Amino acid sequence: MNRFPFFLFVLFIGILHYSCTREEFTPNSEMRLEFTADTLTFDTVFTAIGSVTKKLTVKNPDKHTVSISKISLAGKSVTPFRLNINGLTTNEDFDVRIPGGDSIFIFVEVTIDPTGENMRMVVQDSIVFNLNNNIQDVNLIAFGEDCHLLNGEILKSQVWNNDKPYLIYNSVLVDSLETLTITEGCRIHFHEGSSMFVEGTMKAKGTIDAPIKFLGDRLEESYADVPGQWGASRILDNGGIYVYGGLHFSEGSVDNSIDWAIIKNAEKGIQVDSLGASSNPVLTITNSRIENMTLNCLDARTTYFKAANTVFANSGSITVALQFGGEYEFNHCTIANYFSFGTRREPALVLNNYFGYKKKIYSFDFNAVFGNCIVSGTNADEVYIDKGGEGTFNAELKNCLLKSDFYSDNDFENTLINKDPRFIDAFKNNFAIDSLSPAKDMGHPEIARLFPFDLNNRSRLEDTGPDMGAYEWVSDSKKEE
Residue 28 belongs to a domain? no
Q: Residue 39 belongs to a domain with what CATH number? A: 2.60.40.10
Could you tell me if 32 and 66 are in contact, meaning their C-beta atoms sit under 8 angstroms apart?
A: no
CA-based nearest residue to 281, from 190, 349, 369, 171: 369
Is the pLDDT confidence value at 20 over 50? no
The total number of structural domains that make up the chain? 2
Q: Are residues 115 and 216 in the same domain?
A: no
- Residue that terminates a domain, selected from 144, 172, 198: 144
Is the pLDDT confidence value at 2 over 70? no
Is the pLDDT confidence value at 9 over 70? no
Amino acid letter for position 430:
N
Q: Residue 457 belongs to a domain with what CATH number? A: 2.160.20
Is the pLDDT confidence value at 406 over 90? no
Q: Are residues 119 and 177 in the same domain?
A: no
Please write the tens of the pLDDT for every residue from 284-305.
999 999 999 999 999 999 999 9
The share of the chain scoring above pLDDT 90, in percent, equals 75
Which pLDDT does position 221 carry in this prediction? 86
| CB proximity list for 123: less than 8 A, separation 6 or greater | 80, 110, 112, 141, 142, 144
Could you tell me if 320 and 344 are in contact, meaning their C-beta atoms sit under 8 angstroms apart?
A: no
- Is residue 189 classed as helix, strand or coil in its secondary structure? strand
Which position has the higher pLDDT, 432 or 23?
A: 432
- Is residue 10 classed as helix, strand or coil in its secondary structure? helix
Residue 80 belongs to a domain? yes
Residue 346 belongs to a domain? yes
Which pLDDT does position 25 carry in this prediction? 67
What residues make up the domain containing 38? 34-144
